Amino acid sequence: MNRINIVLVRIAQLIVFLLFTFIVLTYFGTLILIPLDVVAQISALLAWIGLPGALAAVLSLPIVGYLGFLVYKIPRLLSTVLEIGFELAIIGQSRVCEFNDIVASMSTADYGSTTS
C-alpha cells in the first residue's frame, strides 16, 4: 500500500509541475505575442486607411518599436512584469519540491501494515 501511495503522490507532483510549466510558458509567451499582435493590428489599420499591405506592414514596425520604447521608459514596469513571471516559476518549483517532503514522510512513517 505504501508504494501505491508514493506513486499517487508522484503523479500529483507531475500534474502540479505540468500545470505551473504551462502557466509560466503562457505568461512569457503572451509577453512575446503582444507586440506581434500590435504590429498586425496597426498594419490592418493602415491598410484600412488605404496604404498597400506591404507598406502598411513596413510602417507598423517602427510604430510598434516606438510604443515599445515608451513602455520601456516607464520606471520599473518592465522589471515588475518580468519579476512576476520569475516569481511564478519560483512558486511552482517550491510547490513541486513540497511533494518530495510528503514522499519522505511517507517512506519513514509506519502505516501499521504487517507483512507475512
CA 103 to chain centre: 27
Which cell goes with 61? 514596425
pLDDT digit string, tens, across residues 93-109: 999 999 999 888 887 77
String of DSSP letters for 58-102: HHHHHHHHHHHHHHHHSTTHHHHHHHHHHHHHHHHHHHHHHHHHH
> Environment class of residue 60 by beta-carbon count within 10 Å: exposed (0-12), middle (13-18) or buried (19+)?
buried
d(CA 77, CA 79): 6
Task: Specify the pLDDT at position 106.
Answer: 84
Identify the band that residue 111 occupies on the pLDDT scale cut at 50, 70 and 90.
low
Match 502540479 to its residue by C-alpha cell. Answer: 16
The grid coordinates listed for 7 are: 506513486
* 10-55 per-position pLDDT tens digit: 999 999 999 999 999 999 999 999 999 999 999 999 999 999 999 9
pTM of the predicted structure, to 2 decimals: 0.76
Residue 108 pLDDT: 78
